[in-house]
Structure 1
């Protein structure tokens, strides 16, 4: 695994199709009831990979993540073609983590074996709840029985696996969550992702929330649910290495750590985002969100990128603060100073520490958000960012 001071280089591959759109989801996902032309999209993925490699030059790939959408709707042959082409274009580290997201309803043992043969060595299952009535209210199309079956297939097929649950749901109590989480920990591997439900703009849940028909737990209840989460996962040996992610030591998601450590990653596919460093300048990239329009752009230009913006040092500092403070290992202040061209003022750090919102990690030049600070992370980042240099310094790589 790459050390904290060497985040590595990753590829994010976005498969934008789902069998059904969930009412809480604001990801770039699309339903195509008439089916899709998978060979066309496979060819487009390969072309965009080639364009990215030509632009970036040599890299050592430390992680590849197939996200979505529902990547487990892809044929294993498509996954294999993408991984094979990536290995032709770059050096892929022998211990590279290669993750594929899957929905339990689309899990088949044969298909999972196909992904394993293609090179996938880690799977992430979108379970979301271990209660059938809750799954229905979340718009999920799988059952608890299917979720548990998928977990067992993942356990016996891949070296590593994880699954997601959503809590802080309407009317959920700490006792109810404690019982569900206890059940989850009994069947978990060495990693769990546990997310509080958030109401995302322009989703069906947002409309219900605005109409008063969907009420999420208040702040005190949400905090109590968070406390239950931290207590139970820590007791099970899966402590929080990030706000919503829990793992045994050494079992953290390497690809997600790359994001939070502010590493370099290329986004491939419709609606994929990237942070790449061509020619020593860090750029924010994003691709066309509509799948068919993206494919047409790739066929015409070799890529579907519609945003490619150099980031100022101030913008990079803001992003690094937001990412790094999420981690239990904290944010490297020396690296931040190198990026910004100036150190973070000690006065603000002292004030936030005295208020119990951030903590200095003993023996290091690192700070992290405290348990209570994680609830107001955006406010902490804003306060720290206001004390960083405000002039529009030129973008630069570290």
Structure 2
């Protein structure tokens, strides 16, 4: 793809902001989300680098036989109780149960967790509560139970509607189970997301488009389309499968985006498409550099204070996490983000949004003046990767296609 020619807008043309601020410029905390990690899954997929652990749980068996569900919920509650003072009085705008496979947990466990969340923290009246589910672990009674517990959005890991590709990806479900799960989810929840992947082993453009056509015909409120990537420390990375070449993968991306636009899906983030007003609130908070408290094995947090922004991580292994959480030592590492790192971290999130963000959001979220990024912004403009218009900073179409190259310009 040939680069378009742009005339960079001088950084001085940006509307003046307040004088150079230290992190004491963080006068108002950003919106706050809660992430809850459930680390077990039935089978570890060969492309997955998330913190997940095989439960050796067979569908239909009591999960307690293969992983300590009740004890893990105890640990989550203990973790949350200790973390609550850090966010005292701040309303939670969204909750996300991720994994692993959260749908391995019973509705009773999810209800118990959410009940304690409500007791310990105030929720916004329209808080989004998402739970990830694997089509191979779907149970009608559980779906109803999740909804009764307070889950109002379900995210299904479909990945493909083609049995051959599902097998190549190591998924535990087949095409029929995918359809059954989506049908049940759409009947039970107002908000449903389906994850679909492309660029799969030996996948043709025709087959990728067939998956996309099937997805839009099912008409969920939200679709996420991800290109398969080979992540370090995964079986696929160690023994790479035969993947489509770059040109074919690029054609898949372009044609999928066209198809979704034709079916009224707004492409609002690198891999996310939504019907009008149905964007994922939880993920939007990440991409707008909001705050999030993460509890559970390996969970991460980002929390802002009047003079600093901190990150925290929990112990990754479930057993270690449970032991430490119940001893009041869930946090394994904590550090402050330096001023030099904040520019890159802010852009790494916000430039995933196709419409960009207001210029003044940088100071609101970091306490720093955006002129600190003047050199990087000028370079990005000159390369046609970034534009500044109507008080917003946003990636061009070229910047969206070459996001990694754009972000590298903000590395100190």
Tell whether the structures are fold-level matches, with TM greater than 0.5.
yes
CA drift at 1:375: 3.5
Match of 2:272 in 1: 245
Query: What runs of 5+ residues in structure 1 fail to find an aligned partner?
Result: 387-398
Write out aligned runs for 1:297-376 (5 A).
297-301=324-328, 303-337=329-363, 339=366, 340-344=368-372, 348-360=376-388, 362-364=389-391, 366-376=392-402
Write out aligned runs for 1:60-139 (5 A).
60-139=91-170
Q: Deviations over 1:87-117 (max 9, x none)?
A: 1111111100000000001111100000000
Contact 1:337 1:344 in 2 (8 A): no
CA drift at 1:316: 2.0
1:143 and 1:55, CA in 2 relative to 1: closer, same or farther beyond 3 A?
same
Contact 2:80 2:295 in 1 (8 A): yes
Q: Deviations over 1:300-345 (max 9, x none)?
A: 12x4111111111222221110100000220333232563335155
Match of 1:22 in 2: 45
Write out aligned runs for 1:87-236 (5 A).
87-209=118-240, 214-236=241-263
Query: TM-score normalised to the size of structure 2?
Result: 0.87
Q: Deviations over 1:17-66 (max 9, x none)?
A: 00100000000000133511211111111111111102331110100000
Q: Using the alignment, how far apart are the partners of 1:337 and 1:65 within structure 2?
A: 27
Q: Any idea what SS the aligned residue of 1:66 has?
A: strand
Q: Using the alignment, how far apart are the partners of 1:384 and 1:38 within structure 2?
A: 43
Write out aligned runs for 1:290-301 (5 A).
290-301=317-328
Count of aligned pairs: 375
Contact 1:336 1:343 in 2 (8 A): no
Contact 1:195 1:244 in 2 (8 A): yes
Q: Using the alignment, how far apart are the partners of 2:289 and 2:127 within structure 1?
A: 18
Root-mean-square deviation (CA, aligned residues, Å) is 1.8
Contact 2:354 2:400 in 1 (8 A): no
Match of 2:5 in 1: none
Contact 1:333 1:344 in 2 (8 A): no
Using CA pairs under 8 Å that are at least 6 residues apart, name the structure with larger relative contact order, 1 or 2: 2
Q: Which moved more, 1:345-354 or 1:68-77?
A: 345-354
Q: Using the alignment, how far apart are the partners of 1:48 and 1:279 within structure 2?
A: 24
Question: Where has structure 1 moved over 6 Å in runs of 4 or more?
Answer: none
Query: What runs of 5+ residues in structure 2 fail to find an aligned partner?
Result: 1-27, 57-64
